[in-house]
Structure 1
């Protein structure tokens, strides 16, 4: 018999938690309903989604009595998993969920643990590494010269396509380019794949294919999983791909008796068109979701301004207290001559916020660079120094120790500047070590300032890392033995061997502090306003999930369309019909505009107190201006500098 959750149980838990001196938790009916029931939940930005999930899990744990049945909590990323584990791990009842018979992990982890790895073991295959890049490199190194030449003849032939797929009820090996079975290229690629499997190298997608084969050949496996996990919660459902969603539906179909709850925000599904097709069961326009529409992140004045960007038309409200005095949410209107003044003007506007409410200031845009597009409008048009891949390496000290000395001994600059320099040194160490990170879109890339926190969090070392950074900043002196201890611990925290390869000289002890000009102590993507206000510049994808004090959203261009210009009508009229993304035609105007809406919704919903947007004056009509002023927006028109 599954635990029944009711208001009495919720009240008892709130009384216990609030009585323990923690932050006083108050739940409205929408959040209580999400705890009591198992309907799919649309949680707006800043809704406290993780808190609601954590409370539900604690209540279930308090009442759970089954010894061999458990709760499965599935997430899209390790970061989301770690947030849930951290939330419930501090509660005595919640800690029970961290061990058998329960499971908390990513969908990929679930697939590996309960399906793919057991299937591999049953076939005598020992899996040593599940990694797309490593597997592709392993196979490529074993190809014959003719096979290499065959792949190089066409961009459509990639070694990464040499993988098993589950098709027509069987595992089938895909050979890139389909050379004849009697050719050297075919034989070489087949042999390379066999060697990779024998050595335990597999692609991530192959684990799903192996799991699908197991489910198809032995339906009792799915029955066993449904018995084992009568309650399943999926977090960040909006980022779950269609094939993952369909895979879970084969295991836990509707009507199977499993209490299956999906939680997320389809308005923030900003990875549409960037790989696998989005899911339909949660992100689909016709799906009915239970909304949590009140945000504790931002004020109601911000909510009323950005509500029209909600694809699902959620009735967004904000419960953060308004500032007694502060700058108005504004459009910064520029032209071709004044585009370079947009960031300095935003720094000037931000200076009107109270000091305690302007600690995290971000400037974001959808497009980082032109990527060869003609007549582009990107973040780099506003600030040419922006580097989407990595902070400017010419600004990195020659050694990490020299950078640490600059922060501790010279004591120049703000704490924010120092911590940015240390983080920049960490990114450089990870670059030298060849470390990469798989982003929310499933693509692997280098570690950057934007994804460093996610990389560390995925390792499970976020608390230890932050503590170590603080210890470095507070050092009175830096002798060689102490630095050796710091370097070794940093290596452990970041999963890097600091004594080998290119990493060793960078992590060596230094007797002198780094000599860097004032601009160089800033990371590559922090803009220093003339008034001293620091603005961190990022893509919208890079700030998903963050909370800022103030945010500026820059107008950028994709194809022939400008995102802010296209969204002005929706900022003016909440009731307009929304554009719909078509995964089969991701580059038509409707799909592009749907993508604009989600990205700008993410960008404008980060800030607590101040949201600004930049738009070219030729794309802002007088009618737009008057209508937006009635919605509470102010306008700042940039003027070109007067000739002397």
Structure 2
């Protein structure tokens, strides 16, 4: 069937009309990928539009659906944001692509739906309640705190940070206990020790309860393949075309599973195309070692629509994976040289204002051609400190030292929080209905029940639906009052009366609990009454807005390198930051040869012993951070480090300014 599909010039023209600005066309290297229906890798430089060419291929394949053999298309990415972008750009043009037998989603959702949940249901004769790391950690934490004194507890207490170690225990496919999903074996099944039996019993109890960690889904998927190997062939027949975007962000267990399913040692029925940029692999837990092995057929996108030539020439020096064919061709028409702001201890607080003044200057002379098109951001790799001593140490700089108001963006909506008030503050404010607030309030009541160990008749924890059904059957009058309360509380939160709503729920909680048990509340009392940690003011609707530098009409977000991966900026200020020890503590020390342009990363690694991992991690962060802006790249480096390591820098490529 695949051999019968051909992609014509008319097909490509159709995709160009939908995806590209008027008058723009795909060049030859992009057309080569769009037409290619073989198993291959597409390696693409920053800003090359790799997702756009994937969308072009999908738009064209939509016109060929349904396939003659009834198979479908599988499109996976690492994050919901990436999937949302795909849906936003082409869903209205592709009704068939977004329906059976096709699947477009995250790697996690694919594993959940096609492997983990079916195997769990077959094994335990019920569906899991929730696959969510936060809830799992809460439940595992309660088991840890209730561990009796025993050999198992003594063994655990010998580990660094024993509670987190316990929460991170995972099964491998042979039922050994390992340190994290991709970690080494810490307790062997063959040893059959009492400690192994204790932790295996606890892990199995949590598994049977229906609350799974995201990692558990991959463990169950591997078991499914082990005991029912034919599922691999079934999935290959279901999905004849498999496309994985942002492949470099896949972790080892995700990478290995996809390879087993859809490459199958080169014997797969599916075509399997992996799309990404190895040099931008900053999200997987394998910080330094590489897991992405090249296919025999590799296509490349070397032209960057985002980067200017002055910026692309710099970014090239920080590419970890290069070949004779590797290059980054900056196609953006801007001539501003990358700048280095050299500062000392007394001028740290002047860095961002000085960067802002440069922005104004370039805006006024017309150099910032993308000023109104893309945002400007200030970024750093390492953002905060855990101890006051580190914060007070002037030789150690992280983002919070450059911008004192910075707070890690940990106030985004989640499903689980450590205190009731957080549920009232951090709901999804993008939806213009009461539903996100209602869900958060119900989730808070579910947490109270979990903390009090109040379960449904079948011994399982309540879901929102089970909670409502139980109350309705137990006491319909109370159900009506409860529903009215939730409505009024939701309205109150919308009106900004969060503290008043919090007080009312605290007062109502014992009455609510009494519906389930006459025993007074105990273990949930601190959760109910504790105030939100790390929030400076009660009435701040959006705490994350503290990470904004404002000056007159300019607003610049202050954030991390991880947070901006995949983004396009008009201008970016990269603040070097302290990380560990070894071959230097800062990027300007570890990557001194790349700043100067005298060595490749490979040469640096060969000449510097015992710092391999640190150099690789620093390289990836610099590569991602430096490749965000279209017009203006600026980097802040301390005067001592600049004089010690970068005094011979090429000033034809860099503009050096002391502040």
The question of 1:339 aligning with 2:339 is answered: no
Shift of residue 603 of structure 1?
0.9
1:509 matched to which residue of 2? 495
State the SS of the aligned residue for 1:279: coil
Q: Is the 8 A contact 1:363 1:538 kept in 2?
A: yes
Rate the CA distance shift 1:574–1:517 in 2: closer, same or farther, 3 A: farther
Separation of aligned partners in 2, 1:510 and 1:306: 46
Q: Is the 8 A contact 1:136 1:159 kept in 2?
A: no
Separation of aligned partners in 2, 1:306 and 1:503: 52
Separation of aligned partners in 2, 1:216 and 1:543: 39
Q: Is the 8 A contact 1:44 1:265 kept in 2?
A: yes
2:181 matched to which residue of 1? none
State the SS of the aligned residue for 1:79: helix
Q: Please list the CA deviations of residues 461-516 of structure 1 after superposition, one character each: whole Å capped at 9, or x if unmatched.
A: xxxx6584xxxxxxxxxxxxxxxxx5x1553798987976998697153599xx99
Aligned pairs for 1:156-175 (under 5 A) are: 156=160, 157=162, 158-161=165-168, 163-167=170-174, 171=175
Match among 593, 597, 600 for residue 573 of structure 1: 597
Separation of aligned partners in 2, 1:637 and 1:510: 46
Q: CA RMSD in A?
A: 4.2
1:534 matched to which residue of 2? 555
2:479 matched to which residue of 1? none
Aligned pairs for 1:275-314 (under 5 A) are: 278-281=290-293, 289-313=298-322, 314=326
Separation of aligned partners in 2, 1:15 and 1:547: 21
Q: Is the 8 A contact 2:416 2:443 kept in 1?
A: no
State the SS of the aligned residue for 1:628: coil
1:153 matched to which residue of 2? 157
Q: Is the 8 A contact 1:5 1:35 kept in 2?
A: no
Shift of residue 533 of structure 1?
3.2
1:264 matched to which residue of 2? 276
Separation of aligned partners in 2, 1:431 and 1:504: 20
Separation of aligned partners in 1, 2:104 and 2:45: 23
Shift of residue 577 of structure 1?
4.4
- TM-score, scaled relative to structure 2: 0.71
State the SS of the aligned residue for 2:588: helix
Match among 239, 243, 257 for residue 253 of structure 2: 243
Separation of aligned partners in 1, 2:303 and 2:30: 10
Q: Is the 8 A contact 1:144 1:188 kept in 2?
A: no
Shift of residue 236 of structure 1?
0.6
Separation of aligned partners in 1, 2:99 and 2:565: 30
Q: Please list the CA deviations of residues 175-231 of structure 1 after superposition, one character each: whole Å capped at 9, or x if unmatched.
A: 987999896x87765554444333312222222222222222232221222222121
2:29 matched to which residue of 1? 30
Match among 541, 563, 569 for residue 548 of structure 1: 569
1:234 matched to which residue of 2? 244
Shift of residue 521 of structure 1?
9.7
State the SS of the aligned residue for 2:546: coil
1:380 matched to which residue of 2? 400
Separation of aligned partners in 1, 2:565 and 2:273: 23
Aligned pairs for 1:175-254 (under 5 A) are: 192-252=202-262, 253=264, 254=266
2:382 matched to which residue of 1? 367
Rate the CA distance shift 1:490–1:247 in 2: closer, same or farther, 3 A: closer
The question of 1:59 aligning with 2:60 is answered: yes
User: More displaced, 157-166 or 503-512?
Assistant: 503-512
Separation of aligned partners in 1, 2:383 and 2:488: 29
1:106 matched to which residue of 2? 106
User: More displaced, 427-436 or 31-40?
Assistant: 427-436
Q: Please list the CA deviations of residues 318-359 of structure 1 after superposition, one character each: whole Å capped at 9, or x if unmatched.
A: 222337xxx653111111222221111111111123377166
1:416 matched to which residue of 2? none
Q: Please list the CA deviations of residues 102-149 of structure 1 after superposition, one character each: whole Å capped at 9, or x if unmatched.
A: 111222222222222222222234211112332243344354543796
**Structure 2 residue ranges without an equivalent (≥5):** 179-184, 365-369, 445-484, 499-536
Rate the CA distance shift 1:74–1:117 in 2: closer, same or farther, 3 A: same
**Structure 1 residue ranges without an equivalent (≥5):** 392-423, 437-446, 457-464, 469-485, 639-644
Q: Is the 8 A contact 2:16 2:24 kept in 1?
A: no
Rate the CA distance shift 1:559–1:88 in 2: closer, same or farther, 3 A: same
Separation of aligned partners in 1, 2:201 and 2:645: 67
Rate the CA distance shift 1:30–1:85 in 2: closer, same or farther, 3 A: same
- TM-score, scaled relative to structure 1: 0.73
Q: Is the 8 A contact 2:382 2:577 kept in 1?
A: yes
Rate the CA distance shift 1:345–1:273 in 2: closer, same or farther, 3 A: same
